[in-house]
Amino acid sequence: MKQKICFVLVLTVAFLALISGAQAAHWITGTVNDAADTTPADGHTVIIYYLGDEANYVSDTIGPTGASATNNMYMCDAESIPGHVWAPGDVIYAKVTDNGDGYTAGPVSVTTTGAGFDVEPTMTIQAAPDTTAPVIASPTATPSSIPADGATTSVLNVTVTDNVGIASVTVNLVSIGGSATTAMTKVGTTNVYSVTTTASTSTSLGTKSLTVTATDTSANTATSTISLTVTAIPDTFAPSVTNPTATPSTIYANGIATSLLSVTVTDSTGIASVKVDLSAIGGSATTAMAKVGTTDVYSVTTTASPSTVPGTYNLAVTATDSSTNANTNTSVSISLTVQALPVTITSASVENPTASRAQNFTVRIAMSSTSTGWYVVVVSGTASGGEGIAGIGTVYLTAGQSVTNMPVLVHIPSQATLGAYTLYAGAYAIGDYPANLASIIDYEGPVTATVT
């Protein structure tokens, strides 16, 4: 869009009269008053144009930085309007355009004369009327379901924004026994509006759509709804949780050794979930425990991560029933002791990685101990077809002692499957092997050996 800016002339209206006979331009000038709220007109843009062809215009900046060089005045050359040849008698329009702050003025018009300039009627800038309704977002009820007991509360929230300002936010609570224009209160300096409600004892059961009405300071309104479910007055008895056990009650902090955690849970309405907090030993804070068959026992198998600090942990159990208010019992915990590793395997390697049937693989083990005692090292693995081979060795270590080349022979049966075997080495306290294979202390692998 072609624009031509008038020549910058430091003129007053009196000076314009002196140049009225000049032939180079026909000036259109005028005055623009400041807004009623004192927003200055200076700095805003005025355009002049022919009616029906606003796309072709000439512009000027009101005030000292424009062609008039005078506060609240503008000057534009009508002969510079693109696409037109000015002649006396032409009607020239002028208006103040929106520079981004919402203030405009006009349009006004003047029938031009043969004089050197013509003066448009005086304009006053003003902000555009606010026609934008508030925006209501994030309607929530917390909790989203309450019983019709007149006592249990839900917090209703909405987020309300507006380009000018909020006059009021109300919610219609008639369907749950309240007022049709219950005021919602602004939360601090946020855009959240909130009210706490109950559902009266006469409220019908079901999901209610509570209408929220937001009104701004220009009387524009918007509506939204908050969904709230009203239920029957519920069972208030929490589940019974008994017999917390861990089997075994002590495991190593190695992420391998397992313990079966169990509780017995009963309730008059039924169980919705049973969870145990395993976050202290490297698990989830909401680990689900599964019902064991048709019994009332709930269980889960756990390990203790290698980063677990040795000690005894009371693992909290949360049992929630299936009643409408979801009663929860959190007063029971399962005691589990986590031990530091008394021995660690630092490496395992096969001395003769290729051997024939009826021979042995020799696996060399490096390990260190923090506790004095006898240890069993089991090396076992399978071929790709699933056939297994194994070997066992024992070693006595004192606290702080290490071995770097302990041999464990893995016998190759005479009918063993030919091919590669994937082997692992695992360490046990001698009292745990083979009666308690879940009490493995540490392992290393895999290493590969081939039967030819």
Domain boundary at 178, 201, 231, which? 231
Domain boundary at 89, 106, 127, which? 127
**Shared domain check, 312 and 214:** no
List the CATH number of the domain containing 48.
Answer: 2.60.40.1120
Sign of the dihedral through C-alpha 218, 223, 229, 232: positive
**Shared domain check, 410 and 310:** no
Radius of gyration of the chain (CA): 43
**Shared domain check, 115 and 13:** yes
Sign of the dihedral through C-alpha 37, 43, 44, 48: positive
**Shared domain check, 227 and 169:** yes
> Which residue shows structure tokens 């021995």?
343
**Shared domain check, 85 and 149:** no
**Shared domain check, 438 and 377:** yes
Residue 115's domain spans which residues?
3-127
DSSP count for the chain of H helices, then E strands: 1, 36
- Rounded-to-integer distance, Cα 434 and Cα 437, Å: 6
Give CA separation, 411 vs 25, 177, 240, 356, 357, in Å. Answer: 111, 82, 54, 10, 9
Q: Are 48 and 56 in contact (CB under 8 A)?
A: no
Give CA separation, 86 vs 23, 24, 40, 83, 91, in Å. Answer: 12, 12, 32, 10, 10
pLDDT by residue for the chain (452 residues), tens only, comes to: 333 333 333 333 334 443 444 446 899 999 999 999 899 999 999 999 999 999 999 999 999 999 999 999 999 999 999 999 999 999 999 999 998 888 999 999 999 998 889 999 999 999 888 889 999 999 999 999 999 999 999 999 999 999 889 999 999 999 999 999 999 999 999 999 999 999 999 999 999 999 999 999 999 999 999 999 999 886 888 999 999 999 999 999 999 989 999 999 999 889 999 999 999 999 999 999 999 999 999 999 999 999 999 999 999 999 999 886 678 898 899 999 999 999 999 999 999 999 999 999 999 999 999 999 999 999 999 998 788 999 999 999 999 999 999 999 999 999 999 999 999 999 999 999 999 888 899 999 999 999 99
- Rounded-to-integer distance, Cα 120 and Cα 295, Å: 94
**Shared domain check, 358 and 329:** no
**Shared domain check, 45 and 105:** yes
**Shared domain check, 443 and 353:** yes
Sign of the dihedral through C-alpha 215, 216, 217, 219: negative
List the CATH number of the domain containing 397.
Answer: 2.60.40.10
**Shared domain check, 9 and 121:** yes
**Shared domain check, 273 and 222:** no
- Split into its structural domains, the chain has a count of 4
Domain boundary at 339, 371, 399, which? 339
